[in-house]
Chain A
Amino acid sequence: MTKSVAQPPAVALAAKPQSVSLAGKGIELSFGRNKVLRGVDIEAPAGKTVAVIGPSGSGKSTLLRTLNRLHEPDSGDVLLDGRSVLNDDPNKFRQRIGMVFQHFNLFPHRSVLDNMTLAPRRLKRLSADEARELALAQLDRVGMKHKCDSRPGALSGGQQQRVAIARALAMAPQVMLFDEATSALDPELVKGILALIADLGSEGMTMLVVTHEMRFARSTSDTVVFMDHGQVVETGPPEQIFEAAETERLQRFLSQVL
């Protein structure tokens, strides 16, 4: 394996893209008769990290999926860099939004490297060599380069999640969405992943992070959004949310999780 993945032109795509803002306005979504999102307003400003907290079933994960249009909202709008994207080609739009899942969702029938290169090769038409260099650079960044020929099943949960983050980053997204990225991990592996996410944020990536890790939300995010019953109940900087909760619902939630 070569060490010289640093700066050849082929890796230009891996250069840090311009971060932009992502926002949802008045988003409503129902599954059948079940109203899951009831007019959600949320914004992640360019380069900022927004933590979304709330009890299970409050609609956090559904909100993330609506923001990258894995679900289409019944009403409301999704704005990327201030512009509505609901009329864009959803596949093109999703290439600009990276997403990381609770259960990693790596493709078990492909090697780590193939997981990384699938989308860049198919969607960005990179050559095999270009995609490989790009993939190795991203794997290096998350400390997983040495596992590039393994199958995902041979990796630990923490390693799989690192690969999943690298896979999302390989498409050079402008916004990253994290859906309870550490919930399925053994406790000793959580810290490393959170550090990795925090690093991304400090590099200026716009991020929406759904999390149960209150310490992480408090220490790393610029804004904390508390959701309950498909609505945003409170929004504010971490100190305000955790020290001076205004609503009774948030106070009760915090007393349960802290």
Chain B
Amino acid sequence: MRLNAAKLFALLATILLIGSLASLSLAPPLAADNKCKPVGEDGAMALPKKLSSSNGPQEDKYTTADVEPLSSVNVDALGLRTPRTLTVGTQPGGPPSSCMVGERYSGYDNELLRAIAAKLGLRVVFAGTEFSALLAQVATHRFDVGSSSIMATEARRRTVGFTNGYDFGYFSLIVPSGSTINSFDDLHPGQRIGVVQGTVEEAYVVNTLHIEPVKFPDFTTLYTSVKTHQVDAWVAPAMEASKVVRPGDTAFVVAYTFGGGNFIAYCVAKDNQPLLAALNAGLDAVIADGTWAQLYTDWVPRPLPPGWKPGSKAAPMPHLPDFAAIAERHHRAPDEPPPPKSTLAQLRDSFFDWQLYKQAIPAMVTTGLPNTLILTVSSGVIGLVFGIALAVAGVARAWWLRWPARIYTDIFRGLPEVVIILLIGLGIGPLVGGLTNHNPYPLGIAALGLTAAAYVGEIVRSGIQSVEPGQLEASRALGLSYNSSMGLVVMPQGIRRVLPALVNQFIALLKASALVYFLGLIAGQRELFQVGRDLNAQTGSLSPLVAAGAFYLMLTIPLTHLVNFVDNRLRYGRSTGPQDPMDRILSTTGQEMP
């Protein structure tokens, strides 16, 4: 293949650009400290001084008076999706409560849930998902339990059931440096107040502050937007925010408040009373034996709000160290504006952190890459087979073949991929749960494959229709049936002509495979984007996403050039040997496909 001068120049320019940016990071990188690890007692925080306590813990009518004894829990009657296994949905982007350590879904919430499950004699399987989808997924039994610092609010209790509380939440107010906002009282309509979609912070901003917030899918994106002044303030869960906001960032915490006065709990499907009772029993058990206090001290050490304790009303008061005093000793909590870092240094930390690349690449090679390839290739095969069937039906003489193909194509080509993935994954998922063993992976493949089929169908149909009618006529005149003529004469020519368009479709499919993460995948099922995303959420750096991007490029760029190669080959024939017979036809056939 010829690389002409312009191409060569573009290539060189790209290499130089990447090289110069990368050289920035030859300077020793900041320690890539993982936010998903227990800080221990020494990391204790005092209760925030600027706490607006007007909304303190309220009269609590939901906490149970006591629990059934552990010994009376029948683990086979908990209505679990998989016997004796808790399938748990979690949004791993909220350290220290809910986050990932390597392949392990960890953080305070998830480690505590493991301890509770151990008391009950249950296995635990975690899957990462979007917070905004989590409650719905628990309500529809996609997960047995939702674990993600979920505040048990009135509104949420209409959708799901909640256990007794195991933590208590504050909100913090985070603003970019130079902001004039100093307290919750400074928030007004017209400002861009960021929240994570579906969280209690969103409800708080809407219902209590009466401001329409800007909604984000996760903390990481939101915090990046705060730092870059794209939002005026972020109302965040305090514990998570204390992990995300780091000294030297261009944003900091200016105030705290008790949110709606609700505790944090695990959610289960509303109709699953036995599981609720079992989890409550397990929670009281880990409180009684000191496990709760240990995990709380390890992960989220700060004083309990006055007048509140975890577990049922009958649970013993846990023994916790005097966090306030420890925090005092360490002179912690000066929420003072730090000196901002240079833009260049920020850029380097965000995009070119070699430490993070080193951390990301093994997981991407062993987990992300194989899964992306499995998703793409299997949905590609479905798309090709089903797409060819659609194309054949689309040019059939019988209306009862043409019409369904037409309608199918219109629908699946007309919907955004993410909508199809969610509709099939969350809508069809429960119906075929028995077949897929409630594993969303095949559903993701099906959704991608069915979408691809609509495009492939149109591409192949245009290819078939570009074959001169005389070909079909000649074949039939020889005595071959319509079906044989299509299969032996028309289709091979039609598909050859649209090979470039088909490869393009495959590239689109490869990229769309990133959307499957919406369905909630267990650690070993994560594709490239999700692996990068999780590490990005753990560290706040965009470097893992850059690494994921590099992997996609390594896959797509060769494919793009394969398209060009195939295209040239079909257009101008082989570079050696006699003139390729396809030339005559191809030179008269448009190659542009939708």
Chain A interface (Cβ < 8 Å from any Cβ of B): 65, 68, 70, 91-92, 94-95, 97-99, 101, 103, 105-109, 118-119, 122-123, 150-154, 164, 167-168, 171
Contact = CB atoms under 8 A, between A and B. Distances in A.
B74 to A, nearest CB: 66
Contact of B468 (A70, A91, A94, A105): A105
Contact of B488 (A105, A118, A151, A164): A118
B473 interface: yes
24 contacts: A70-B476, A91-B476, A91-B481, A95-B479, A97-B477, A99-B474, A103-B470, A105-B473, A107-B474, A108-B584, A109-B493, A109-B496, A118-B489, A119-B480, A122-B484, A151-B581, A153-B579, A153-B580, A153-B583, A153-B584, A154-B579, A164-B474, A167-B478, A168-B478
A150 to B, nearest CB: 8
A250 to B, nearest CB: 30
Interface in B570-585: 578-585
Contacts of A168: 477-478
B478 A119 contact: yes
B492 interface: yes
Given A65-B473, A109-B496, A150-B578, 11 more contacts: A91-B480, A94-B477, A105-B470, A107-B474, A109-B493, A118-B489, A119-B478, A123-B479, A153-B585, A154-B578, A154-B579
Contact of A91 (B471, B479, B578): B479
B581 A154 contact: yes
B479 A99 contact: no
A207 to B, nearest CB: 15
Given A108-B585, A154-B578, A171-B478, A70 B488 contact: no
Interface in B451-486: 468, 470-471, 473-481, 484
Q: Which 3 A-B pairs have the closest CB atoms?
A: A153-B581, A151-B581, A95-B479
Contacts, number: 80
Interface residues of B, number: 26
A70 B469 CA distance: 12
Given A101-B474, A107-B489, A109-B492, A119 B479 contact: yes
Nearest to B495: A109
Contacts of A152: 581
Given A94-B478, A122-B484, A108 B581 contact: yes
Interface core residue of A105, A122, A150, A167 (most chain B CB under 10 Å): A105
A105 B471 contact: yes
Contacts of A70: 473, 476-477
B463 to A, nearest CB: 12
Contacts of A123: 478-480
Contacts of A164: 474
A101 B475 CA distance: 11
Contacts of A98: 477
Contacts of B584: 108, 153
A171 B579 contact: no
A108 B477 contact: no
Residue among A68, A151, A153 with most chain B CB within 10 A: A153
Nearest to B490: A107
Contacts of A109: 492-493, 496, 581-582
Interface in B548-594: 578-585
A95 B579 CA distance: 33
A121 to B, nearest CB: 10
Nearest to A99: B477
Contact of A107 (B471, B476, B580, B583): B471
A119 B489 CA distance: 11
B403 to A, nearest CB: 20
B490 to A, nearest CB: 10
Contact of A95 (B468, B474, B478, B488): B478
A108 B582 contact: yes
A65 B174 CA distance: 80
A171 B475 CA distance: 12
B573 to A, nearest CB: 9
B29 to A, nearest CB: 56
Contacts of B479: 91-92, 94-95, 119, 123, 171
Nearest to A65: B473
A168 B478 CA distance: 7
A143 to B, nearest CB: 20
A173 to B, nearest CB: 9
A176 to B, nearest CB: 11
B422 to A, nearest CB: 42
Nearest to A97: B477
Contacts of B493: 107-109
Contacts of A94: 476-479
A97 B476 CA distance: 11
A153 B480 contact: no
A101 B488 contact: no
A196 B580 CA distance: 29
B473 A101 contact: yes
Contacts of A97: 477
A70 B492 CA distance: 22
A151 B583 CA distance: 11
A78 B474 CA distance: 20
Given A118-B488, A153-B580, A154-B579, A105 B481 contact: no
